[in-house]
Structure 1
Amino acid sequence: MFRTLAKRHYYTAEGRRIVGILRRKYEQKKLEHLNTSGQVKTNDKHGIGYTSPNEVFINNELNLSKIKVYGFDYDYTLANYTDNLSHTIYDSLKDIMVDVLRYPKQIKGFTFDPNFAIRGLHYDVNNGWLMKIDNMANIQLYTVHVGREPIKDINEIIEFHKGRHIPPDYLRENMYQLSDLFSTPQATLLSDIVQYFRDHDMSFHPRYLSDDISYAAAVLHTGNHGIGGTLHKKVMKDMSTYLERSPKLVGYLENLRKKGKKTFLLTNSTLSFIDKGMSYLTSSDDWMDLFDCVIVSARKPEFYRSCRPFRRATEPTWDRVEKFEPGQVYQGGNMKDFSRLTGWSGQNILYFGDHVFSDLADATTQQGWHTGAIIHELAKEIEIRNQPAYRHTLSWLLRLENLLNEAQTWRKEYRIEDLDHLILEWREERRQVRLELKTAFNHSFGSVFRTYQNPSFFANKIRKFADIYMSNVTNLERVSQDYVFYPNRTYLPHEQLIETLIDSGKIREYL
């Protein structure tokens, strides 16, 4: 008995000694961390960790000398829109919801909040939840909103899904992703209407609301007058309000052609809309000379899979198209005929677009095209990540997680209350630091590209379907056309230790 008590006393004392060591180590690292906060210059563009927003980022090896043909989408690829467009989409959707679908007239008094929604969110049509999920279809907790309010009781979410994971069948049948920038004002209005109904105790089914918003968006974007709906009409009336000129665009496209590359424009938008926009962007009515082939009203992604024939877009025609003629614009069509008529196919094509599913997924998986994603939010997120305050907070998170790993390792031997309390204390601090990093990008949903530790669902699709990605297509103008993009080696968890030592040269210290 005496030996047992002595052993237990020693065990407890040794455990407390370990806790003391861990706490002192924490205080030392915290002090070191705080001392570094004033050492980084606020605007040091050559500091450690600085990333240029004008870079091209690589997912897959890509040899530009093998690329013979460059293709481009229009909206948010060649054409960059101002923030005014999102405000107009939101206001126009309000009008359709009230005037056409008979929603409460008070909705017209809503004001668009550009800081609420981000691209890549998922909407749950059964619960009315708007959320961000990661690359493994796990819910990022503290991003789930019903209306404009976050769900604070995470157990409600976990109980519904029996955990944080969303099964593939549920994801496919009951959720849809907001994949492009046009959808962010749509998501905001949907959330605002859900909030209004909840505030006024009005019964509703979230699927009805999402279906009605989708219908309103279809009316707004497509219309039935051949120019793409009421949104296109508004943009065409005041180009300078909605379109950002791109001084480098014409030079980039001309340089491609001077180097012997073929170019084409493949867009879902209509000729009237494209003609007006490209004339404004290039300051020339001869913008079609920048392309060997122009295809409008393509209906991507059906374009990649359908058998719909091409027809001329500039005049009423009913005969089949047997060849693409210079100076002509074509509409509709399908991938098989496109390849037959142009002779372009496979991996000698590099196609750029902003929408993962409409532009890129089928192009790369079904046709073997190389693809580039244009993601305008990327520039802003890089600027945030370059801020010393963000990098400083991130460095503390990494240090804290290392301390937690060490504490948990000791817990295998010393399961004492003091050590349990220390781990809980550090886990809570970790949660607070991660929330701070999240809200640096967006208060409600965080980064477009990342959950707390994993890539977001959206970012994972970019990694899967885009060889390269960038904030603007003209970022490529500084890259030679025989350049080979080599991606960084991706370490699996079981590879990381030894391969990091090899890469850093530190392996020599152990040999």
Structure 2
Amino acid sequence: MGVSHLLSDVIPPGACNLLNSSTIYANNEVNLAEVDIYGFDYDYTLALYSNALNTMIYNTARGFLIEHFKYPEGICKYDYIPNFAARGLHYDIQKGLLMKIDAFHYIQPGTVYRGLNPVPDEEVLQLYGGTYHVPLQQDSGFYGKVKGGPKVKQFMDIFSIPEMTLLAAANDFFITNDIEYDPVHLFKDVSVSEAIGMVHLKGYMYKWVMEDLDKFILRGEETDAVLHRLVSQGKKLFLITNSPFSFVDKGMTHMVGKNWRDFFDVVIVQADKPHFFTDCIKPFRRLDGNGDLRWERIQSLEKGQIYKQGNLFDFLRLTGWRGSKVLYFGDHLYSDLADLMLRHGWRTAAIVPELEQETKVVCTDRYALNLTWLQALTGLMERLQTHRDPESKQVFQEWQSEREELRVMTKNLFNPQFGSIFRTCHNPTYFSRRLCRFSDLYMTSLSCLLNYDLSYTFYPRRTPLQHEAPLWMDQLCTGCMKTPYLEEIQAESDI
């Protein structure tokens, strides 16, 4: 009670109300006055989907496992668990483990799951040869193909949440029923190349959404408002999506109206991203009014026409849209944003729907108190460790236990299994580091643009480096001297 009261005095008044999910966050300085061209992905960018879609994907893929791959019927008893998995997790294919990894390639203790159950930290260390580190060369991330296939797969797509949940459920079924199986076969059968892939390849997802647009598409009127605003201020717009035209047309008509194509200067469907950004060969093809492919060579990209496939190099050549006057919005950090930022100098904006829930948690008094005391306790421990007497050692151990409890409590506020998608105990997650690397801006949804003038400049805050010795929260409670006196250390070591 006493500690809580003191912490309440330390936290600035109204600090918990400073964040809201309508804010656009800047990793890099961006002046919208310099942006003339706005580009968009479609799924989870122009169109946001309800959680009901994840349930449908999971149920259908589970059915494929049983019907097509002859998996045991008992897997049907595992219903979709909406809040089990989180985006950005890694999956060890050979060990059948789902886990969260930080920006330094270390597994966060307490976030490793075999099936639906956590794996004790001691066992994790044993499985990984006495370390929590996962070598970079085993990862399937942005760094290209791994020889012999990846050993660890990262799930960066929002569509991958039902895939992770199905993997966990199927693993759990075999383990619980003591049935011998190969985790590598399971991963392949569940993955985007098989059961989950069949949901997309056979067009099930497109069919469900088109049959009930109101149920599956969220906040369409906000997308409409954003497009109207951009066009009314003379901005050029383009769309590059992997989805087919019939699906995009139905969704955009629902959100914006039957004349939605008038907003866009260029529309490209079935683009085959990320290959669209790296392939120099695949040509554009035009679709006629019925959606059928035309055969003529494309000499220009014309407003009102629909194009399929193509590649970014031809796109740049035909439009002349280059550099920081282009701002492209997408949800997938690798497929949508990485190449555009690293190779072509476009501005990029990541759509991160999870921000809505995460900022709600960060704005609670409970989170603020936990975090402030966690920082203060860390500072106290750092100071106390120079004292070697038995009483100090005992207090240090007690504080260490309390710090661990605080970490778990803080993690559980976001997701009891994996915590925040942005942070491990004290480091950014692997997902968070990639988000900072590949996006200039990030936000919950496109509608956040409605809160800003189109000449607005986003300024990233100077985040303190460790050696810049800012006034950390722990110093508010323990004094401004972060480093113990050298004499004090020497005196203790001489005892």
Match among 303, 312, 316 for residue 293 of structure 2: 316
1:202 aligns with 2:179: yes
Superposition CA RMSD, Å: 2.2
Match among 299, 310, 314 for residue 337 of structure 1: 314
Distance 1:100 1:48, change over 3 A: closer
Contact kept in structure 2, 1:55 and 1:470, CA below 8 Å = yes
Contact kept in structure 1, 2:105 and 2:134, CA below 8 Å = yes
Match of 1:442 in 2: 415
Match among 238, 260, 283 for residue 212 of structure 2: 238
Following superposition, the deviation at residue 155 of structure 1 comes to 4.3
Match of 1:491 in 2: 464
Match of 1:296 in 2: 269
**Please, which moves more after superposition, 94-103 or 30-39?**
30-39
Match of 2:195 in 1: 216
Alignment of 1:49-60 (within 5 A): 50-60=18-28
Q: Distance in 2 between matches of 1:497 and 1:467?
A: 25
1:98 aligns with 2:75: no
Match of 1:347 in 2: 324
Match of 1:367 in 2: 344
Q: Distance in 2 between matches of 1:368 and 1:40?
A: 40
**TM-score, with structure 1 as normaliser:** 0.86
1:139 aligns with 2:107: yes
Contact kept in structure 1, 2:349 and 2:442, CA below 8 Å = yes
Distance 1:39 1:463, change over 3 A: closer
Following superposition, the deviation at residue 280 of structure 1 comes to 1.1
1:464 aligns with 2:437: yes
Distance 1:423 1:218, change over 3 A: same
1:169 aligns with 2:137: yes
Following superposition, the deviation at residue 200 of structure 1 comes to 1.3
Q: Distance in 2 between matches of 1:73 and 1:67?
A: 17
Match of 1:402 in 2: 379
Alignment of 1:123-162 (within 5 A): 123-158=91-126, 160-162=128-130
Following superposition, the deviation at residue 394 of structure 1 comes to 1.5
Q: Distance in 2 between matches of 1:286 and 1:166?
A: 50
Tell me the secondary structure at the aligned position of residue 470 of structure 2. helix
Q: Distance in 2 between matches of 1:171 and 1:252?
A: 37
Q: Distance in 1 between matches of 2:9 and 2:213?
A: 46
Contact kept in structure 2, 1:40 and 1:388, CA below 8 Å = no
Contact kept in structure 1, 2:341 and 2:438, CA below 8 Å = yes
1:33 aligns with 2:4: yes
Please say which structure displays the higher CA radius of gyration. 1
Match of 1:22 in 2: none
Match of 1:432 in 2: 405
Match of 1:417 in 2: 390
Q: Distance in 1 between matches of 2:134 and 2:351?
A: 28
Q: Distance in 2 between matches of 1:359 and 1:377?
A: 18
Tell me the secondary structure at the aligned position of residue 143 of structure 1. strand
Match of 1:21 in 2: none
**TM-score, with structure 2 as normaliser:** 0.89
Q: Which runs of 5+ in 1 are unaligned?
A: 1-29, 224-228, 501-506
Q: How big is each residue's C-alpha offset from its partner over 1:74-125, in whole Å with a ceiling of 9 and x where there is no partner?
A: 1111111111111101101111111111111222232111011011100000
**Please, which moves more after superposition, 232-241 or 31-40?**
31-40
Match of 2:76 in 1: 108
Match of 1:268 in 2: 242
